[in-house]
Amino acid sequence: MSTIELTKDNFDEIVNENAFVLIDFWAAWCGPCRSFGPVYEAAAERHPDLAFAKVDTEDQQELAAAFEIQSIPTLAIIRDQTLIFAEPGALPEAALEDVIGQARALDMDEVRKSAQDQPSEGAGEG
C-alpha cells in the first residue's frame, strides 16, 4: 500500500476508517524530509495493514497547526482515534520499525484509561 496524501478534507475519514494511522509531516524544501521519505515509503510497503499518510505542511498549514508542528519531519501515530506518538526528526529504518512495534504493542484500553485520568491540559484555551 502506498502512502495517502492527508488533507484537512479527508483527515476525519482516514482516521475514522483506519485503526492505526502513521502521519509524516513534511515539506518539499526540507532536506531531512526528503531523506526520510524513502524510509517511510519502505515501511509502508512492509506494513500493508497500517495506514501511512503524509501531510505537506506547506499545502496543509491548518492541519500542521492543529498538530502544533514546530519542526519537520515529524512523525505522528494515531491509534483508535487517539494520538499516541508525535516526535520530530528523521528516523532511520530501525528506529521507525521500533516505534511501529511499540505502537502496535500498546494496550489501547490502558491508554484511554490513562488519558481519562489525566486532568485536561490547556483547559479554557480556545
| Active-site annotation, residues | 30, 33
Per-residue DSSP letter, 50: S
Length of the chain: 126
Which DSSP letter does residue 71 get? S
Alpha helix locations (H) across 3-107?
11-17, 31-46, 61-66, 93-105
Position 61, amino acid: Q
- The answer to whether the beta carbons of residues 16 and 70 sit under 8 Å apart is no
Distant-in-sequence, close-in-space partners of 42: CB < 8 Å, separation ≥ 6: 93
C-alpha dist (Å) from residue 3 to 21, 32, 48: 10, 18, 10
